[in-house]
Amino acid sequence: MIVLDVRHNFPDVIRQIKALPEAIADKAMARALNATVQQAKPAMAGQISQEFRISVSEVKKRLKVNAARRKGGIYVLEASLEATQKNRGRGMGIINFVEKSTTLGQARKRAKAGTRNQVFFQIKRSGGKRFIQGAFIATNHKTGGTALFVRVPGTTMSSRSKYAGTKHAEQIQALTTIDIPQMFNTKRINQVVVSAMLQRFDSNFQRELRAVLGGFVK
C-alpha cells in the first residue's frame, strides 16, 4: 500500500496554508490528495504491465483507491492506493502467463530440443520463456477456469477418481506465482510511482485551492 499523508509528505504545503481558514485548506488538501492518488492508479498499472506480462486493464481491476474524506465534520487528510488479493493465501495462476502462440522458428527449435510438447510461459517481460517438465493445462474444478498443473510424485488420487489405478493416478497441483500485490510492492515500481505522486501533488493542490477559493466546488 502507498499512503499519502499531508502532514508527513508535504511540509511545504503545511507552511503555505497557515494563513488560510482551516475548512478551506483541508478541503483543498483532501481534493488534491484524492486527485493525486487517482492519477497514480493508471501509472501503477502501467509500471506493473511494463515489468510483468499482464495487461494494464487487468492490473487496474485489482487496484483500489482509499480516498481522503470528511468524517464527523473533520477531514482525514490521508489517501492511499493498494492492490487487492484475488484469492486469499494463493498466488496468481501461471496459466495467466502461458504463451498464446509460437512462431515457426520457435516450433522448429523446440522440436530439435525435444521440448515441442511442453507448455511455455513468461512472467517478466525481461525474462525468457520457461517450461516446467510435464506441466499440462486442464480444468481447475475449484475455480471453473483452466490452470497449469503438475503431477505430484508419491501421491495417489482418491479411489473414486476416474484416473484411479492408471498411470495418471497421481494427485495434481495447480501452479501459481506472485500476484499483483507482490508486483505492486516491487521496490523499483513502488519508487517510480511514489516519486511521481510527490511531484504531482503540489500542482494538484494549487489547482484545487484555486477551485475552493473561487467557489467552484461545494
pLDDT digits (tens, 9 = 90+) for 22-54: 888 899 999 999 999 999 999 999 999 999 999
Assess contact for 173 and 161: CB atoms under 8 A: no
The one-letter amino acid code at 157 reads M
Q: What is the pLDDT of residue 166?
A: 62
Is the CA virtual torsion 213, 193, 179, 130 positive or negative? positive
Give yes or no for residue 97 having a pLDDT over 70: yes
DSSP 121-174: E-SBTTSPPEE-TT-EEEE-TTTSSEEEEEE-TT----TTSTTTTSTT-S-EEE
Q: What is the pLDDT of residue 175?
A: 92
Q: What is the pLDDT of residue 168?
A: 64
Partners of residue 76 on adjacent β-strands? 69
Give yes or no for residue 56 having a pLDDT over 80: yes
pLDDT digits (tens, 9 = 90+) for 123-161: 999 988 898 888 888 888 877 888 899 988 877 766 556
The one-letter amino acid code at 83 reads A
Give yes or no for residue 4 having a pLDDT over 90: no
Q: Cα–Cα distance between 204 and 210 in angstroms, integer? A: 10
Partners of residue 55 on adjacent β-strands? none
pLDDT digits (tens, 9 = 90+) for 166-211: 666 688 889 999 999 999 999 999 999 999 999 999 999 999 999 9
Q: What is the pLDDT of residue 117?
A: 79
The one-letter amino acid code at 214 reads G
Cell numbers representing residue 69 in the block: 474524506
Q: What are the residue ranges spanned by the domains of the chain? A: 2-86+181-213, 92-177
pLDDT digits (tens, 9 = 90+) for 57-73: 999 999 999 999 988 88
Task: Compute the 3-state secondary structure of the chain and give helix, strand, coil in percent, each to the nearest 5.
Answer: 45, 20, 35
What does pTM read for this prediction? Answer: 0.83
Cell numbers representing residue 175 in the block: 501452479
Give yes or no for residue 100 having a pLDDT over 90: no
Least Cα distance to 207 among 36, 7, 20 occurs for 36
Which residues contact residue 74 at a Cβ distance below 8 angstroms, ignoring those fewer than 6 apart? Answer: 26
